[in-house]
């Protein structure tokens, strides 16, 4: 990519999303304490994003212990935090231009596991620059996590951020690979190391509270049509939570839409051996001489 104007409106909206997100992430992390409900933290963060002028790019993910991603509370969820490892993954968009960030809040006494992806992320940020391979970034992440005595989660990756697209190319591995894509000036990417006390792979569980539009389509059922209208108008192609839907028959409507391949779900991802998982994530804009982190604390 050449002749990219990093001061254009597109990049300013990415930066604004990142500024909102940094503030919300830090405050949400402060709220995570034993006895506090998952739903309270998720709904506070999502509403605060709107108050600050953005929109959630996806439902707040609250992953506990062996969970790695795609966990969000349901509408009447009363689950509270215990002495656990808590991963918060939050996204913001401004007119479809995204920022994505995550942090581990450790209530379990595993400080070093929580620190491992944070150190890996800083090493990755130091590595990202135009012409650098994603495999080199993966090597930097892997070295840091293994240096702490843990394994990177190898079947989860960082990713590009597009317009109304949460996951685009390039994929950014959490381990060294021989052939990766190279970064260009203007790329907007989310780098997200995951560390685990387990073997380093995640599997899909059965719980599903997050969904996204798969394709345009029509359904005969009235409730499903109403839900589909809300999805296409409010969320477009971005992920949404079942609890965001206005319909009193939302779960039934989602089942119908899934059966017609109009909507797909995101099952909760879990460490295959049931071991602990930690995470840290920032959004970066690739610049002429390195990268700019849009989601740093201010």
Contact (CB, 8 A) for 7 and 285: no
Is residue 54 domain-shared with residue 122, that is, in the same domain?
yes
The 10s digit of each residue's pLDDT in 162-208 is: 999 999 999 999 999 988 999 999 999 999 999 999 999 999 999 99
Catalytic residue list contains 281: yes
The one catalytic residue in 46, 208, 281, 292 is 281
Residue 16 inside a domain? The answer is yes
282 assigned to a ligand binding site:
no
Residue 234 inside a domain? The answer is yes
Is residue 131 domain-shared with residue 239, that is, in the same domain?
no
The one catalytic residue in 16, 67, 84, 100 is 100
pLDDT at 223 over 70: yes
Residue 52 inside a domain? The answer is yes
Is residue 109 domain-shared with residue 187, that is, in the same domain?
yes
Q: Average pLDDT in the 27-46 region?
A: 98
The one catalytic residue in 14, 38, 93, 159 is 159
Helices 222-230 & 250-259 angle (0-180, nearest 10): 90
Residue 2 inside a domain? The answer is no
Residue 1 inside a domain? The answer is no
The 10s digit of each residue's pLDDT in 270-282 is: 999 999 999 999 9
89 assigned to a ligand binding site:
yes
The one catalytic residue in 89, 106, 187, 271 is 89
Catalytic residue list contains 192: yes
Q: Average pLDDT in the 210-232 region?
A: 95
148 assigned to a ligand binding site:
no
> Which structural domain range is residue 280 located in?
9-204+276-293
Is residue 219 domain-shared with residue 195, that is, in the same domain?
no
Q: Decide: pTM greater than 0.85.
A: yes
Helices 38-51 & 9-31 angle (0-180, nearest 10): 150
* Biggest CA-to-CA distance, the chain: 56
Is residue 82 domain-shared with residue 219, that is, in the same domain?
no
Cα dist from 26 to 56, 96, 293, whole Å:
16, 22, 15
Residue 142 inside a domain? The answer is yes
């Amino acid at each position: 990519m050449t002749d990219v104007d990093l001061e254009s409106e597109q990049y300013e909206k990415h930066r604004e999303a990142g500024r909102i997100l940094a503030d919300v992430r830090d405050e949400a992390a402060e709220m995570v304490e034993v006895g506090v409900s998952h739903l309270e933290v998720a709904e506070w963060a999502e509403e605060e994003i709107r108050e600050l002028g953005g929109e959630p790019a996806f439902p707040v993910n609250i992953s506990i212990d062996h969970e790695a991603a795609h966990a969000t509370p349901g509408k009447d969820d009363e689950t509270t935090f215990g002495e656990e490892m808590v991963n918060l993954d939050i996204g913001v968009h401004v007119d479809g231009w995204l920022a994505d960030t995550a942090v581990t809040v450790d209530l379990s006494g595993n400080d070093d596991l929580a620190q491992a992806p944070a150190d890996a992320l800083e090493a990755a940020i130091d590595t990202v620059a135009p012409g650098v391979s994603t495999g080199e970034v993966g090597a930097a992440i892997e070295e840091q996590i293994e240096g702490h005595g843990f394994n990177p989660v190898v079947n989860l990756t960082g990713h590009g951020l597009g317009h109304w697209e949460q996951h685009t190319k390039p994929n950014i591995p959490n381990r060294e690979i021989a052939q990766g894509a190279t970064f260009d000036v203007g790329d907007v990417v989310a780098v997200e190391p995951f560390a685990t006390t387990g073997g380093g792979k995640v599997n899909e569980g059965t719980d599903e509270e997050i969904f996204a539009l798969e394709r345009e389509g029509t359904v005969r059922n009235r409730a499903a049509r109403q839900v589909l209208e809300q999805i296409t108008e409010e969320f477009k192609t971005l992920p949404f939570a079942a609890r965001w839907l206005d319909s009193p028959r939302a779960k039934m409507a989602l089942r119908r839409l899934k059966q017609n391949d109009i909507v797909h779900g995101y099952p909760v991802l879990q460490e295959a051996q049931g071991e602990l998982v930690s995470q840290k994530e920032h959004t970066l804009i690739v610049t002429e001489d390195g990268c700019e982190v849009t989601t740093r604390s201010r």
